[in-house]
Chains A and B, each alone.
Chain A
Amino acid sequence: MIYLTLLKELPYLLEGVLVALELLLAFMSLGFIIGMVLSVTEVYGNRWSSTLAFMIERFFRGVPAIVLIFLFYYGLSDIYNISPFAAATLALGFRTGAYQSQIFKGAIQAVGPGQMMAARAIGMGKIQAIWSIILPQALRFGIGPWSNEFASELKDTSLAYTIGVVELLRRAKYIVSYTYGNALIVYGFCAILYLILVRLGNTVLYRIEKKLQIPGFETRKEGGLG
């Protein structure tokens, strides 16, 4: 009975969920840092640094994720013995970094030039103004679009399957193999697990967004922007 097998293998599958979440945490953190650096450089950098940031961002947004994963795994394997997990982290990290940079860039530009001017006018340096005034506001604006990126990246952890990371989908594939079939039920169960994870994640992010909302700001946007 496949349902009994699924029940028996549930811990095995849930471990796969954990692996997927570890991978997600690793490359989303990397991507967050890359996205921050790229977006701040694109908006506030000089001509050379912002062009460089722009090119990096265009490259990683323009190449399919699976190609990046192969590049980082098989490509790097020629010179360095990289683990599948590390290769997936780098490939997906750079890719989400490029996408996150677009989110942060829009959010930074939504803050309004008056905020930077006022920060400089009381004597803050540029970096300090970005850190203390611009980013705290931009990050709030960014949570909504960021939760989209989060959901799409959570689903894309399954791509790491292709280079042998034993995450949820790969474990499901093992079960399909050794029970000779039942693809619909096993992958269907897998789909439900992904769905639950995405919904949970988005709910948490939505709560965070609500909690960090600046009082009065959403309803009276013209107020402090200027």
Chain B
Amino acid sequence: MCLLKVEDVYKSYGDFMVLRGISFQLEKGEIKVIIGPSGTGKSTLLRCLNGLTSPDKGKIWIDGVEVTDPKTNINKIRSNIGFVFQSFNLFAHLTALDNVCIGLVKVKGMKKSEARLLAMEELRRVGLEDKAGAYPAELSGGQQQRVSIARALAMNPKLILFDEPTSALDPELIGEVLNVMIDLAKGGMTMLVVSHEIGFCRAVADEILFLDEGKIIEKGHPSVLLTNPSYKRTKEFLHKIIELYGEERD
């Protein structure tokens, strides 16, 4: 059975219809990357998936539980889905270690000493065990994003949603975050990533979804979609991001 199922999702903000009938699925262990121009609802779609935004129409299931059902305990669902934000959103008053700990203690009810051990393990996984005592404002953007990935990992999620995780970073810091994400992908993590990092797509994506004006215009394996897209719109967009981001990063 698929881990994530999205069926005909619509969402409007006022008169502006952001999502116009999105459907797709994600199997366990699969990695899909969503690309598309800004303002086409990529972030809105991700936020619908864990209930940070409610769709106007359509249904979403995660691991067989319907997220869009008002009776569903959304907090429980969210504790099983990692979410990595473009602007990191680390808790500013907590150290890196406590940022990773707090969900374990407050949401999962784990003992603080136990949570700290586990959190340290996750910080080590993203290469930041030496920054455990640092506050977010003392870290670089790349380090903050790695802590936020560790925060998501600590909750032992079934799926991690990445909302343009490298878009707010200086170019020289992007690599360290992408490397962590590639390691996760190789470790079998299920991931849905909004990103325009072509190199990352090629390296790990099982499928790319091209989103434009609230619809999935085209989808396919990176080897096909990136080199030989069927639609003119996709081709134009790929040209633009290659101009901006370069063909490959590594």
Contacts and interface: CB of A to CB of B under 8 A. Distances in A.
Interface in B126-149: 134-139, 144, 148
A123 B90 contact: no
B58 interface: no
B91 A214 contact: no
A118 B91 contact: yes
**B interface, size bucket:** 35 or more
Contacts of B134: 215
18 contacts: A115-B91, A118-B85, A120-B52, A120-B78, A121-B52, A123-B76, A124-B106, A124-B107, A133-B91, A137-B93, A214-B92, A217-B135, A224-B92, A224-B135, A224-B137, A224-B144, A226-B85, A226-B89
B52 A117 contact: yes
Contacts of A114: 85, 87, 89
Contact of A123 (B137, B139, B155): B155
B75 interface: yes
B102 A214 contact: no
A132 B137 contact: no
Contacts of B168: 226
Contact of A122 (B78, B92, B136): B78
Given A125-B75, A132-B102, A226-B85, A119 B137 contact: no
A123 B79 contact: yes
Nearest to A121: B83
B195 interface: no
A197 B144 CA distance: 43
B162 interface: no
A125 B88 CA distance: 20
Interface in B25-79: 50, 52, 75-79
B138 A121 contact: no
B5 interface: no
Given A123-B78, A137-B92, A216-B136, 7 more contacts: A118-B148, A123-B79, A215-B138, A223-B136, A224-B137, A225-B92, A226-B168
A123 B75 contact: yes
**A interface, size bucket:** 20 to 34
A109 interface: no
A115 B89 contact: yes
Interface string A94-119: 00000000000000000000110111
A214 B79 CA distance: 27
A133 B107 CA distance: 13
B151 interface: yes
A128 B106 contact: yes
B79 A122 contact: yes
Nearest to A119: B91
A104 to B, nearest CB: 16
A203 B4 CA distance: 56
Contacts of A223: 92, 136-137, 139, 144
B60 to A, nearest CB: 15
A216 B52 contact: no
Interface in A190-222: 214-217, 219-221
A123 B108 CA distance: 9
A188 interface: no
A123 B103 contact: yes
Contacts of A136: 93
A79 B89 CA distance: 53
Contacts of A225: 87, 92
B163 to A, nearest CB: 10
A27 B86 CA distance: 44
Contacts of A170: none
A195 B79 CA distance: 53
Given A125-B75, A224-B88, A216 B137 contact: yes
B107 A220 contact: no
Contacts of A123: 75-80, 103, 107, 155
A140 interface: yes
A30 B151 CA distance: 38
A86 to B, nearest CB: 37
A125 B89 CA distance: 17
Residue among B88, B91, B139, B152 with max Cβ neighbours from chain A (10 Å) = B91
